[in-house]
Amino acid sequence: MKKVLTIAGSDCSGGAGIQADIKTITAHKMYAMSAITALTAQNTTGVYGILDAGADFVGLQLDCIFQDIYPDAVKIGMVANKDIITMIADKLIEYKAKNIVADPVMVSTAGSRLMEEDAAATLIEKLLPIATLITPNLPEAEVLCGFPIKNQADCIKAAETIAKKIPTAILIKGGHLDDTADDLLWDKGDIHWFKGERINNPNTHGTGCTLSSAIASNLAAGYDLAASIQNAKNYITGALKANLNLGKGSGPLNHIYQFGAM
């Protein structure tokens, strides 16, 4: 059985973070492990509190995982402060982690900053460059490149700019572009567009977490990067089309739709 590790924050309502990742990995018939970076008090209506784990404890979790059940892929989500970021980067380098998918949770899709600037700088300098793939949404890509992204041409220019300081593959998620919903994969100068299907479903809580953990699962299965992204996008599409409707706000996905559940 393939093993996938998620390094992220906990969502007590189960729609995003560690919980979404574990559901996604399990839906891909793989063994899920987790290193929790923070506890959050949140639900479909918002985030009401965050309690960071200490960097040393995050490091201890990673020691326990890598020294016993070595993961075939790693997904990184919410990492709240620079000490935790530094610890994660050091441990992943120490254990020669492979197939790392980093979702840079810096800015929400609504445009709110979720990370202090010093932590963001450490993320860009130490953690993102060791990833196999980073998956910024449009606001995050704008932070990384330093200019607005409105169309496909802007996406290409942004990827070129980001790649100069973060020399890894980049998937810019284009769900909020003006002219399309397509995603751009930039990989060492090669460009691949993934056609995006707009689905009429307001319940999108945890889509970024789910996509990145699905990509990691596909990499663990041995698919190449482009195939892993396409397979993950197909999975997300199915989870959205299942039209699960829970909570009073933007609800979660049906992560196990392919099993005929719910």
Looking at the predicted structure, is the pLDDT value of residue 179 above 60?
Answer: no
Percentage of the residues of the chain whose pLDDT score is greater than 70:
94
Residues marked as catalytic: 173, 204, 206-209
Looking at per-residue pLDDT, the higher value among 60 and 151 belongs to 60
Looking at the predicted structure, is the pLDDT value of residue 185 above 70?
Answer: yes
What digits encode the pLDDT tens for the residues 86-142? Answer: 999 999 999 999 999 999 987 655 555 667 778 989 999 999 999 999 999 998 999
Count: domains in the chain: 1
Q: What's residue 114's pLDDT?
A: 65
Contact predicate 172/186, CB 8 Å: yes
Determine the 3-state secondary structure of 10 from DSSP.
Answer: strand
Contact predicate 124/117, CB 8 Å: no
Domain boundaries, position 126:
3-259
Looking at per-residue pLDDT, the higher value among 146 and 198 belongs to 146
Outline where the chain has alpha helix (H): 17-27, 55-66, 82-94, 117-122, 138-145, 152-165, 207-220, 225-241
Looking at the predicted structure, is the pLDDT value of residue 213 above 80?
Answer: yes
> Can you give the CATH number for the domain in which 154 is found?
3.40.1190.20
Q: What's residue 8's pLDDT?
A: 97
Q: What's residue 261's pLDDT?
A: 54
Looking at the predicted structure, is the pLDDT value of residue 200 above 60?
Answer: yes
List the 183-187 sheet strands across, edge first: 46-52, 31-43, 3-11, 73-76, 100-102, 133-134, 169-172, 183-187, 190-194
Residue 88, sorted as left (phi over 0), alpha (psi -120 to 50) or beta, turns out to be alpha
What digits encode the pLDDT tens for the residues 12-51? Answer: 999 999 999 999 999 999 999 999 999 999 999 988 998 9
Contacts 24+ apart (CB under 8 A), 48-51: 50/9, 50/80
Q: What's residue 180's pLDDT?
A: 64
Q: What's residue 227's pLDDT?
A: 98
| CA 240 to centroid of chain Cα atoms | 17
